[in-house]
Copies of this chain bind each other. A is one copy, B any other.
Amino acid sequence: MTTHDRGARANSPVRRRQTGSALTQQFSDYLRARRSEIEQALAHALPAPPQCPPVLATAMNYSLSAGGKRLRPVLCLAAADAVGPHRSFAMPAACALELIHTYSLIHDDLPAMDNDSLRRGRPTLHVVAGDGMAILAGDGLLTEAFALLARVPATAGEEIRLRHLRVISVIADAAGSMGMVGGQAIDLSCTNPDPSGQRAAPLDAEGLRLMHGRKTGALIRASAVAGAIMGGGADSTISSIDAAAAEFGLAFQIVDDILDVEGVSTELGKTPGKDAASGKPTYPALYGLAKARQMAADCLERAETDLRSAGLADSWLMEIGRWIVHRSS
């Protein structure tokens, strides 16, 4: 364990296992504090007019300010907390991850993709701004994520700059054709016919796991890894956090599918039952609800083993895993 890792002990929550879906008071406070920091940072993360044309700034901010769980940036900051005392070093990465997540939702909701008209409880961007401006707003958010990561403060030393470069590599690989965009492409080719009317065969259980591992899991993993890198974690600690975050990512998708079956539009903030109706394979459809819930719980257990190996079983990171599994929206 590095000096930083030892220093992080002060940030660890009191060990208190959850038995149900309620969050501990300490974790609720932690979540509220981190989200507040994130909202403040996001408010200054994008270029403003006149540098950015007003019509584009309005479109990007419409989606970025729509709220949501802010899971990826919270995870990023919690990973930085787990490895050292310099959480603020991870804030540019935390914001960049939310910009990328937001762009992916905008493009995913387009008529040419999932054709969803409701997101985070509001009309989707293409409904209010048109398909073309929604495509551009997504492009802008994705590009600004990398601009933000590369815009290192003049006071930063070489070591911090090199951490930024490493994090750009991690996030770009996770968001690109091997990761999120690749997962979207697999998903699209199974659900939407191409111009010749062809459609890929439906995914089996293993194919579903691999698709979600790219589409959702890769960026969740990268969120934790980026936070651990920016926080100055040792390579072995980063590896353990990466392994735990992979479990979080799988659990997240299983729970998302369960909520899609059970949820109501107002709580979920998007059209419920849509995945099942579109014939997309889901975990509850493949395994049944009870087994799917057990699979999510198993993910949590494996993540705890991973984090324990780095002495981080009592970190906020682990609490985030419990939140992912027990959330109701």
Q: Which of A133-141, A265-273, A286-294, A307-315 contacts B (4 or more CB under 8 A)?
A: A133-141
State the CA gap A135–B107 with chains docked (Å): 8
State the CA gap A161–B289 with chains docked (Å): 49
State the CA gap A3–B25 with chains docked (Å): 63
Interface size class of A (residues with CB under 8 A): 35 or more
Decide: A177 near B133, CB < 8 A? Known: A55-B186, A182-B52, A195-B128: no
Decide: A188 near B143, CB < 8 A? Known: A165-B152, A165-B161: no
Answer yes or no: A234 CB below 8 A from chain B CBs.
Answer: no
Contact across chains for A107 and B182 when beta carbons are under 8 A apart: no
A212 smallest CB distance to B (angstroms): 13
Question: How many copies of this kind of chain does the complex include?
Answer: 2
State the CA gap A255–B39 with chains docked (Å): 45
Q: Which of A77-85, A166-174, A237-245 contacts B (4 or more CB under 8 A)?
A: A166-174
Answer yes or no: A46 CB below 8 A from chain B CBs.
Answer: yes
Contact across chains for B140 and A143 when beta carbons are under 8 A apart: no
A58 smallest CB distance to B (angstroms): 10
Answer yes or no: A1 CB below 8 A from chain B CBs.
Answer: no
Answer yes or no: A131 CB below 8 A from chain B CBs.
Answer: yes
Q: Name A90-137 residues within 8 Å CB distance of B.
A: 103, 107, 110, 112-113, 127-133, 135-136
Contacts of A146 in B (CB 8 A): 146, 168, 172
Digitize A177-213: 1 where CB-to-B-CB distance is under 8 Å, 0 elsewhere.
1100110111011001111000010000000000000
